Structure formats: structure tokens, C-alpha cells
Structure 1
Amino acid sequence: MDALSRDFFLFLSKNRGLNFMAKRWGKSLATGNIIGGIDFESCIPHIEQLNKKGIQVTVDHLGEFVMDETVARERTQECIRTIQTIATNTIQTQVSVKLTSLGLDISQDLARENMQKILEVASKHQVLVTIDMENESRCEATLELFRELKEQYDLVGTVIQAYLYRSEEDLAQLDDLSPFIRLVKGAYKESAQVAHTEKADIRENFKQLIKRQLNSGHYTAVATHDDYMVDFTKEYVRSQGIPKDQFEFQMLYGMRTKTQQELKDEGYNVRIYMPYGDDWYGYFMRRLAEKPSNISFALKGLTKK
């Protein structure tokens, strides 16, 4: 059933008609509930509200698979403006970015050039930038660019997905960089040739990745809404004497808000992934595909007053 639900939501994520309607009529419904706003400035009050609760944020300008160089450069400048605005407003937030939004599918050189521009500004303002992971076919290019950039800039991290077979080896290959890594389940449709498809197998691999990354001493983000994985992480760090300042939990904006605050009240670092922009529909469907039970939290968020 989970596999059918996953395929269904991934199918919906690619429906152009529904995406068009969501952009045209659904922005007000999504804003402040599952996205921070249509532009970064409209996110600031929501970020400030979370910061007051002791919760930090990472923002992501939605949009990917860009095949126009002009658009890729515009996306780059949007990211740069966001970093500058973060610094001006002294809010506790980082930035996440997808390489395909910066032109990875056009050329790796273009994506590298655009990331370097972003990281120059991020370094100046001391804002960490996390390179989001996309589907498996882009994984190698993403990690190759991350390695190059990490050797030039300190404030850059990336994402490793638990459902891919290759992920434990990828972590091992990155260990010498002392990287900031966000560990996630994974949200793209992948074949059984490259990815685990059973929940139990994904959870087991996720656990191994968490243990490896935490044991390395590198700062780690455990990004999950799965209570099982949250409880596993809490128990593991207790048993190993791993300090709470070595890791954080990350969750999505508008979902599991009670759990987020409970974790913060227990003394854990909590960061919320807050997307913004009008291209919110595909993002939303992939989140439901990643964990279909998220739909109950999402509907509560969309209907809250």
C-alpha cells in the first residue's frame, strides 16, 4: 500500500494541469502553512516566529530542472539576495539549494560557477548553504561538485539519501572533508536496481548512516518525520554519550509542529526546512510520496486558522 501511495503522489507531482492550478489559485492556501511565502521577504515573519521558540530554519527557493541559462543565473541571484537579506535581518536561518536550479542539467561548469558565486557571499555573511540531493542519476555529479566546493569553502553541506544502496559508501568517501550532512529518507522514484524499496530496509540503512555520521564526530542533521527514526537517534546518542550540540533534527515547515516543539523543549537542536516560491505543488506531492502518512499533518496545516 505504501508503494502504491508513493507512486500515486509522485504521479500527481508531475501533473502540469494541477501544477498550473496550484500556482494560480493555491498560493494563498499554501503560504504560511506549507511554504513560507511566494518570496523570501514574506518568509521573514514566519522565521522570526520560529526563532523566538528557539527553532532555526533553512530556506529553499522552490524550482528545479532548469534548462535555460538565463533562468539559472536568475536563480543564483535570488539565492544571493536571500543570503544578504538574512544577514541584514540577523535571523537564524541557513539556505538550501538544488543544483539543477542553478543549471546542472545544462552543464556542470555552469552549476559550479553559480555555486561559487553563492558561496562567496555566504562565506562573507557566515551563512551555511546545503546542496540538496536530487534523483540518483544526478547523485554522482552532485557529490563531485560538493567535494570540489568543500575544499574551497567551509560553509557548504550536502544531503545523503537513506534509500540509495550507495549512500554508506558515499559517506565514507566524504569523511575526510569533515562534512555537514543532512540525512534523509529520499523522495524520488528510483528503481530497485539503485534503491531500497521496502520500508524496513530503508529504515535499517538510515540507522546505519546515522550511526556512521554521528560516530565520525561530524555535525549531522537527521531529517525525518518518522517517530521510529527520531526515537532511534535519541536512544543512540544517549547510549554513546554523543552531545546534543553535535546534531540536529530537521522537519518540514507546517508538519509535525507539536513534535518539533517537544524536541526543542527536550534540549535538542531543531531546524525547519521552509520552502518558498510559487512552484510549491511538486514539492508538496513529493513530501507526501516520501511518507504518505504526512497527509494528515499536511491537511491540518492547510486548514488551520
Structure 2
Amino acid sequence: MVEKLSKNFFLYLSKNKVLNKGAKRWGLKLGAAQVVAGVTVDSVMKVVKVLNSKGLVCTVDHLGEFVLHREEANHSMKVCIDTLEAISATGVNCNLSLKLTQLGLDIDRQLCIDHMRAILDVAKRTNNFVRIDMEDYSHYHQTLEILAELRKTYDNVGTVLQAYLHSGKKDLESLRGVPLRLVKGAYKESPKVAFQDKERIDENYLEMIKQHLLTGSYTAIATHDHRIIEQVKRFCKKWNIPKSQFEFQMLYGFRTELQEQIAKEGYKMRVYVPFGHDWYGYFMRRLAERPQNVSFALKGFFSKK
């Protein structure tokens, strides 16, 4: 019960626009610096280089929430393009993750699509891949529709499916062959569209992972749950699924020892590295996911004092 209340509390805070605006003035305090790699493209490239040196590959995400003006969406597009150019110039092993709302989805759908095409053109020229992060359920169907439209022209774009959604396995079937990141889900959703029980979500998550792998589709398994990771390893060995067909993904700043261990075992281990001034919503969702993250954040905060 306490864990559920804690999760709901931080998810509520993550959607507070006043606090989000204030957070930009605070800077990376309250422990956020442990999980957000600075605010500039240069700062995140430095972090990626260090992670690469440890055998870890990366995906970087310029954080953004509540984008309601064209100028903000245009700026987000430019930062995404600058990030791809920086990845190419520095030679780091890294791709790009982004959110459609940050590129103007809530302003104008075509504006968002135009921004995506501009970004994907640069990604194609620099031989890179772009992952569209999945957001809350209100943007779910739009995201899948836009992905389908983009995939008609670009093969270097994929998205994310969330295992807590009732429609997860059905939607997965329609995305056969598309490189997907599979996650449990980090937003608070209605029981009408999402499972609420942790065991049921875990069960559905594993079923979706196996389903996508068995179709021969490239699969990114994004979890910090070592039990699920071990089950995936055993499943892939049993069905002779090559390591080149899947990867594990974890968030920057969490379970770093496990990340390095997985890489040493010869698996591709990708670290999701966020950066930018608009870190507040991301940070609150991380605190909501696990109660342990709260003490982790406070420890980081006081260690800077």
C-alpha cells in the first residue's frame, strides 16, 4: 500500500507544470545529476564516451515535457539534429531516443511528422537509428500511426511498447520486423487500458519479449529486473536466438555493476542516457518506479553538500 501511494504521489508530481518550470531554475539538484547527464550535447557526449570505454553502448535523449509552442518544438528538433551530428563527429557508439510531444505532436501532427523526417534524414546520412519513446496512453495510438507512416520511407526508426497495456501483445503482432524496445511501463494509466497487478505485468512482459524474439525481430529488453534478464538469457539459448538479435537496456545511473557484468558476458548492453534542462518529469517518474530510488536520490543530493 505504501509503495502504491509513493508511486502515485511521484507520478502526480511528474505532471505538475509549475514544479517542472521551477525545476529548470533549480538545475540538476535533488539527486537528479546522478541519473541525468548534464544539460548540453557536449556534456552527454562526455558521459557516453566513458560508458563506451566500459563496453556499454548508449542511446541519448534530450528531455522535454509540456511542449505547446512551435518555437519550443523547433528547438527540440534542432537539438536532436545537433545530437546526431555530435554522435557522428565524436565516433561514439550511440543512437538517439526522442518523444513526439517534444517535437510538436500536441501542437500540430504534421509539424511533428515534418520534424521527424528532418531528424531521420540526418540519422540516415550519419548511419544512425532513432527510437520514438512511448508516452502516456493519450498519445499511444498517434505514436503507432506516425511510426507506420515513417516506416514507409525510413527503416532506421522504431518505437517502444509497454507491457502493462492490455493491447500490448496484439499491437506487437502488427509490428513484426520493427526494432522495438519492450518495457513494463512507467505512467499511471486507467485499469480500462492497463494491468495494475505487478505479477500480471511481469507475465505479459516476458510473453511479449518471447513473442517478438521468435518472429526474428530485433528486440531491446529494457529492464533492471535481474530475474527477467536471466529468463531471457535462458530462453535465447534454448531457442538458439543469436546475441545479435537482441540487447538489454537500462537507465543511466541505475544498477551500473549489473550493466557492466552483462556487457562482459558478451551481450549488447545499452544505457539510456538523458540530458537537458527539462529533467523534472523524467526524474519524478524514476522515483515513482521503485521506492528505493527515493533514498538513492536523497543520498546523491546530500553527498553534494
TM-score, structure 1 normalization: 0.94
Looking at structure 2, the residues matched to 133 and 149 of structure 1 have their Cα atoms a distance apart, in angstroms, of 15
Equivalence map 1:237-256=2 (5 Å): 237-256=236-255
SS of corresponding position for 1:67: coil
Relative distance call for 1:286 and 1:301 in structure 2 (3 A) is: same
Looking at structure 2, the residues matched to 181 and 298 of structure 1 have their Cα atoms a distance apart, in angstroms, of 30
SS of corresponding position for 2:175: helix
Aligned to 2:108: 107
Aligned to 1:27: 28
Looking at structure 2, the residues matched to 30 and 112 of structure 1 have their Cα atoms a distance apart, in angstroms, of 35
Q: CA deviation at 1:288?
A: 2.1
The one-character-per-residue Cα deviations of 1:139-161 (angstroms, maximum 9, x if unpaired) are 11100110111121111110000
Q: 1:196 is aligned with what amino acid?
A: F
Q: 2:230 is aligned with what amino acid?
A: D
Looking at structure 2, the residues matched to 245 and 298 of structure 1 have their Cα atoms a distance apart, in angstroms, of 35
The one-character-per-residue Cα deviations of 1:222-261 (angstroms, maximum 9, x if unpaired) are 0011222212212211222211121111000011101101
Relative distance call for 1:264 and 1:126 in structure 2 (3 A) is: same
SS of corresponding position for 2:165: coil
SS of corresponding position for 2:4: helix
Q: CA deviation at 1:30?
A: 5.2
SS of corresponding position for 1:160: strand
Relative distance call for 1:301 and 1:231 in structure 2 (3 A) is: farther
Which segments of 5 or more consecutive residues in structure 2 lack a partner in the other structure? none
Q: CA deviation at 1:32?
A: 5.2
Q: 1:238 is aligned with what amino acid?
A: K
The one-character-per-residue Cα deviations of 1:185-244 (angstroms, maximum 9, x if unpaired) are 111110000000000010011011100111111111000112222122122112222111
Aligned to 1:207: 206
Q: 2:209 is aligned with what amino acid?
A: I
Aligned to 1:152: 153
Relative distance call for 1:49 and 1:304 in structure 2 (3 A) is: farther
Looking at structure 2, the residues matched to 121 and 67 of structure 1 have their Cα atoms a distance apart, in angstroms, of 25
Q: 1:257 is aligned with what amino acid?
A: T
User: 1:254, 1:298 within 8 Å by CA — same for their partners in 2?
Assistant: no
User: 1:31, 1:38 within 8 Å by CA — same for their partners in 2?
Assistant: no
Q: Say whether residues 1:122 and 2:123 are aligned partners.
A: yes
Q: 2:184 is aligned with what amino acid?
A: K
Aligned to 1:278: 277
Q: CA deviation at 1:22?
A: 3.2
User: 1:255, 1:301 within 8 Å by CA — same for their partners in 2?
Assistant: no
Looking at structure 2, the residues matched to 297 and 172 of structure 1 have their Cα atoms a distance apart, in angstroms, of 38
Aligned to 2:143: 142
Q: 1:147 is aligned with what amino acid?
A: A
SS of corresponding position for 1:27: coil
Paired residues, number: 303
Give the fraction of aligned pairs with identical amino acids, expressed as a percent: 49
Which segments of 5 or more consecutive residues in structure 1 lack a partner in the other structure? none
Q: Say whether residues 1:7 and 2:21 are aligned partners.
A: no
Q: 1:245 is aligned with what amino acid?
A: S
SS of corresponding position for 1:294: helix
Q: CA deviation at 1:31?
A: 6.8
User: 2:99, 2:133 within 8 Å by CA — same for their partners in 1?
Assistant: yes
SS of corresponding position for 1:275: strand
User: 1:83, 1:95 within 8 Å by CA — same for their partners in 2?
Assistant: yes
SS of corresponding position for 1:248: strand
User: 2:151, 2:157 within 8 Å by CA — same for their partners in 1?
Assistant: yes
CA RMSD of aligned residues (A): 1.8
Q: 1:50 is aligned with what amino acid?
A: L
Query: Could you tell which deviates more after superposition, 199-208 or 3-12?
Result: 3-12
User: 1:64, 1:100 within 8 Å by CA — same for their partners in 2?
Assistant: yes
Aligned to 1:58: 59
User: 1:255, 1:297 within 8 Å by CA — same for their partners in 2?
Assistant: no
SS of corresponding position for 1:64: coil
User: 2:60, 2:272 within 8 Å by CA — same for their partners in 1?
Assistant: yes
Looking at structure 2, the residues matched to 47 and 304 of structure 1 have their Cα atoms a distance apart, in angstroms, of 23
Relative distance call for 1:245 and 1:129 in structure 2 (3 A) is: same
SS of corresponding position for 2:160: strand
Aligned to 2:94: 93
User: 1:94, 1:129 within 8 Å by CA — same for their partners in 2?
Assistant: yes
Structure 1 stretches of at least 4 aligned residues deviating more than 6 Å after TM superposition: none
Aligned to 2:68: 67
Relative distance call for 1:262 and 1:304 in structure 2 (3 A) is: farther
User: 2:14, 2:285 within 8 Å by CA — same for their partners in 1?
Assistant: yes
Q: CA deviation at 1:124?
A: 0.3
Looking at structure 2, the residues matched to 120 and 29 of structure 1 have their Cα atoms a distance apart, in angstroms, of 37
User: 1:9, 1:289 within 8 Å by CA — same for their partners in 2?
Assistant: yes
Q: 1:246 is aligned with what amino acid?
A: Q
Equivalence map 1:211-222=2 (5 Å): 211-222=210-221
